[in-house]
Chains A and B, each alone.
Chain A
């Protein structure tokens, strides 16, 4: 059974870059799409972007200028970078696998446990 685990700093200073990694275990990262989703404290869910194991990406237009998602198939990991962060980027960040259907994105399953990143000086 595939398991995802997020890792990275829990505190980032304003204007700096948030960096997180998602490690996939129990299965290969290959042949799947993967995603990052965030949830500000007490609020709803916001999709950040997709990545295919080949490295192709698709980002949320609302964050496209600040977000980069990459993949390292040798480590069975994919990563998120969000630059120029502000307090509004404080959230629990989840990684998840994307179910696809003929190359079209569908639902998210499974999800990692999530990691809280606080933006504060």
Chain B
């Protein structure tokens, strides 16, 4: 299985400031022939199911605010919230879909400082 490791486990950011979450996979999730990274990001607010934010590592799902962006390739990825809003308080998960079983990071809890 591909192990996904996120850092940090938790971070507190002031409103309007940047939040950066890292995700590292135990092997590359870049499919070279398609030049695509098989990685998604989800947001889970308390008491709610995860919500898809980003797929192909950097493609924003329809309706997701443009303050959310994804970057990275191979084994190292980043989710950035450019200007944290109160409604962004949540746990964020990365997920690889390069091979079955799909696996998730342990989650990063984002809160307001």
Contacts and interface: CB of A to CB of B under 8 A. Distances in A.
Interface of A: 44-47, 58, 60-62, 94, 96, 99, 105-114
B64 to A, nearest CB: 11
B40 A107 contact: yes
Interface SS, A side: strand
B11 to A, nearest CB: 17
Contact of B95 (A107, A111, A112): A107
A60 B40 CA distance: 19
Interface stretch (B17-25, B69-77, B96-104): B96-104
A44 B101 contact: no
Interface SS, B side: loop
Contacts, number: 51
B102 A47 contact: yes
B48 A47 contact: no
Interface of B: 38, 40, 42, 48-52, 55, 61, 93, 95, 97, 100-107
A45 B50 contact: yes
Contacts of B105: 44
Given A47-B103, A60-B101, A114-B49, A109 B93 contact: no
A45 B40 CA distance: 13
In the A-B complex, the 4 residue pairs with the smallest Cβ-Cβ separation, listed nearest first, are A111-B49, A109-B52, A107-B40, A45-B104
A47 B101 contact: yes
